[in-house]
């Protein structure tokens, strides 16, 4: 054996660098995009609040206090409004990097504390509304697609169009007038009746917390207060889902493999559940995700009409009072909700349709 052969035999191939899994790279990119998006939200929100006509001192101080220049100057100094805009922004950004969202000018509490209080109330509305909308929207949309062109399909199309055209505030007022004022079968608004105290906070959702504490009367009362706002939000959401489900299912019904499944004599239930539903859900997931993100972001008009102390009502009060820290906190939360829901939707694509791969 020659020296060259011995050297070649003793030489080991260079170790390959381990490849980063596609999912890890995908998540890394999405995290970087989210960070950039949140930074952009702070910049745009800061600019818009200062461009909009109005003054935080005028919106929050009484008329008597506004007539005293010393009080106005003290208010501006307390909240840093006497500093240049760029200095205010850098100060806020520095606090944000340490997890401090600032203090609300209206409540006097940390914005993070306010969000922890108001977000569960909105979540208590959003989750049942979305579940009901998905069940009803998917079933009715599939029915309309399967019975395309028949009377039932026309009724569904007209009904969904009416639902899309109905203003949320009008539907809320009609429902409240009908079920509370005329029939008297539902509470007027709020989360609990005056005779019940809020249950010990665990999740922030009164129905769940009251049940965990064994306060069944309070839990039932909380469910009754949920019915009307959930009904309104479900009607508004299901109208959108029905149209998208119907359109997606009609497209799948034209595929050759659906005709082949029927030609093989497969039961209608099998064709609809195993082939049609799974293939048609991919475009519907995107719409469902955006609808759920919209519900989580707070429905301002519905929450205000029903007196529901959720994120939408908090955002409305913050905007009318030009409460910059609260406006920024709500904006960041909404941005996080939409990016998180979009990420979840992208991951669900691969689970529902094996042909889709994340890269």
Contacts of 118 (CB under 8 A, 6+ apart): 309, 310, 311, 313, 314
Residue 8 has pLDDT above 80, yes or no: no
Burial 171-192 (b: 16+ CB within 10 A, else e): bbeebbeebbeeeeebbebebb
What does the pLDDT average to over 121-142? 89
Token readout for 84 is 């240049």
Percent residues over pLDDT 90 in the chain: 11
Residue 356 has pLDDT above 70, yes or no: no
* Confidence band for 217, pLDDT divided at 50, 70 and 90: very high
pTM exceeds cut of 0.95: no
Enumerate the H helices of 55-205 as residue ranges: 56-60, 63-66, 69-78, 85-97, 111-146, 151-165, 168-176
What does the pLDDT average to over 18-29? 67
Q: What share of the chain is helix, strand, coil (3-state, %, to 5)?
A: 75, 0, 25
Q: How far is CA 298 from CA 118, 187, 233, 293, in A?
A: 10, 21, 11, 9
Pairwise CA distance, residues 146 & 153, whole Å: 9
Residue 9 has pLDDT above 60, yes or no: no
Q: How far is CA 248 from CA 94, 277, 282, 284, in A?
A: 47, 9, 9, 7
Please, what are the domains in the chain? 112-320 (1.10.3720.10)
Which secondary-structure segment (H or E) carries 286?
Answer: helix 277-296
């Amino acid at each position: 054996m020659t020296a060259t052969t011995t050297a070649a035999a003793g030489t080991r191939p260079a170790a390959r660098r381990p490849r980063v899994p596609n999912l890890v790279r995908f998540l890394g990119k999405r995290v970087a995009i989210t960070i950039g998006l949140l930074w952009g939200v702070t910049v745009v929100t800061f600019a818009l609040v200062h461009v909009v006509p109005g003054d935080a001192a005028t919106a929050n101080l009484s008329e008597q206090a506004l007539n005293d220049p010393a009080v106005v100057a003290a208010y501006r100094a307390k909240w840093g409004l006497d500093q240049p805009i760029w200095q205010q922004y850098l100060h806020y950004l520095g606090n944000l990097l340490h997890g401090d969202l600032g203090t609300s000018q209206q409540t006097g509490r940390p914005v993070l504390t306010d969000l922890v209080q108001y977000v569960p109330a909105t979540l208590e509305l959003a989750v049942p509304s979305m579940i009901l909308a998905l069940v009803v929207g998917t079933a009715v949309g599939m029915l309309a697609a399967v019975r395309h062109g028949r009377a039932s399909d026309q009724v569904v199309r007209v009904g969904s169009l009416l639902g899309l055209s109905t203003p949320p505030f009008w539907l809320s007022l009609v429902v409240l007038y009908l079920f509370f004022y005329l029939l008297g079968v539902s509470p007027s608004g709020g989360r609990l009746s005056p005779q019940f105290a809020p249950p010990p906070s665990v999740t922030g959702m009164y129905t769940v917390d009251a049940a965990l504490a064994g306060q069944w009367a309070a839990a039932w009362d909380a469910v009754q207060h949920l019915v009307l706002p959930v009904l309104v939000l479900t009607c508004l959401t299901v109208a959108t889902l029905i149209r998208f489900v119907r359109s997606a299912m009609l497209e799948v019904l034209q595929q050759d493999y659906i005709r082949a499944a029927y030609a093989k004599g497969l039961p209608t239930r099998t064709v609809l559940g195993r082939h049609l539903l799974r293939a048609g859900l991919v475009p519907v997931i995107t719409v469902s995700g955006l609808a759920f993100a919209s519900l989580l972001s707070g429905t301002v008009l519905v929450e205000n009409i029903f007196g529901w102390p959720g994120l939408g009502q908090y955002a409305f009060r913050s905007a009318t009072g030009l409460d910059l820290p609260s406006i920024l906190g709500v904006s960041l939360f909404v941005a996080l909700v939409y990016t998180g829901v979009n990420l979840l939707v992208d991951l669900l694509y691969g689970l529902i349709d094996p042909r889709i791969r994340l890269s």
